[in-house]
Chain A
Amino acid sequence: MNELLRLTGQHVLIVAIAVSIAILAGVPLGTFAHRRKRAGGIALRVTDVVQTIPSLAMFGFLIPLPFIGGIGARPAIVALVLYSLLPIVRSTLVGLERVDPFVREAAVAMGMTDRQLLWSVELPLATPAIVAGIRIAAVTAIGVATIAAAVGGGGLGTLIFRGVAMVDTRLILSGALPAALLAIGADLVLTRVERAFARKRGEA
Chain B
Amino acid sequence: MFGDPGSVVQAKRPGSRNTKSGEAAHNTRVIDYRDVTVTAGANAILDRVSLRIGTGERVAYLGRSGAGKTTALRVINGLVVPSSGELVIDGTPVAGRALPELRRRIGYVMQQPALFPHRSVFDNVATVPRLLGWPEERTRAEAERLLDQLELPAATFAARFPRSLSGGQQQRVAIARALIAAPEILLCDEPFSALDPLIRAELQTLFRDATKERAATTLVFVTHDVREALRIAERVVVFDAGRVVADTSAEAFLTHEHPLVRRFVEA
Contact = CB atoms under 8 A, between A and B. Distances in A.
A202 B127 CA distance: 20
A143 to B, nearest CB: 33
Interface stretch (A14-22, A89-97, A107-115): A107-115
Contacts of A102: 110, 112, 114
Interface stretch (B55-63, B96-104, B137-145, B206-214): B96-104
Interface string B70-81: 000000010100
A204 to B, nearest CB: 10
Contact of A106 (B105, B110, B164): B110
A36 interface: no
B71 to A, nearest CB: 14
Interface residues of B, number: 28
Majority secondary structure, A binding face: helix
Interface in A172-189: none
Nearest to A106: B114
Interface-centre pick from A102, A107, A109, A124 (highest chain B CB count, 10 A): A109
B114 A105 contact: yes
A13 interface: no
Interface string A39-68: 000000000000000000000000000000
Contact of A107 (B101, B116, B163): B116
B116 A111 contact: no
Interface-centre pick from B79, B99, B105, B127 (highest chain A CB count, 10 A): B127
A203 interface: yes
Nearest to A99: B117
Interface in A139-188: none
A121 interface: yes
Contacts of B100: 111-113
B161 A108 contact: no
A199 to B, nearest CB: 10
Contacts of B237: none
B79 A111 contact: no
Interface string B103-126: 111101010101111110000000
Interface in A109-138: 109-113, 116, 121, 124-125
B131 interface: yes
B164 A109 contact: no
A37 to B, nearest CB: 20
A110 B128 contact: yes
A105 B127 contact: no
Contact of B161 (A105, A110, A121, A202): A202
B72 to A, nearest CB: 15
Nearest to B174: A106
A200 B114 contact: no
Contact of B114 (A100, A113, A116, A201): A100
B114 A111 contact: no
29 contacts: A100-B114, A103-B115, A106-B108, A106-B114, A106-B116, A107-B116, A107-B127, A109-B103, A110-B128, A110-B131, A110-B177, A111-B99, A111-B101, A111-B102, A111-B104, A111-B105, A111-B128, A111-B131, A112-B131, A116-B131, A125-B116, A125-B117, A125-B118, A200-B118, A201-B117, A201-B118, A201-B161, A201-B163, A202-B162
Q: Which 9 residue pairs spanning A and B have beta carbons closest together?
A: A111-B104, A111-B103, A106-B114, A109-B108, A102-B114, A202-B161, A202-B163, A102-B112, A111-B100
Interface of A: 100, 102-103, 105-113, 116, 121, 124-125, 200-203
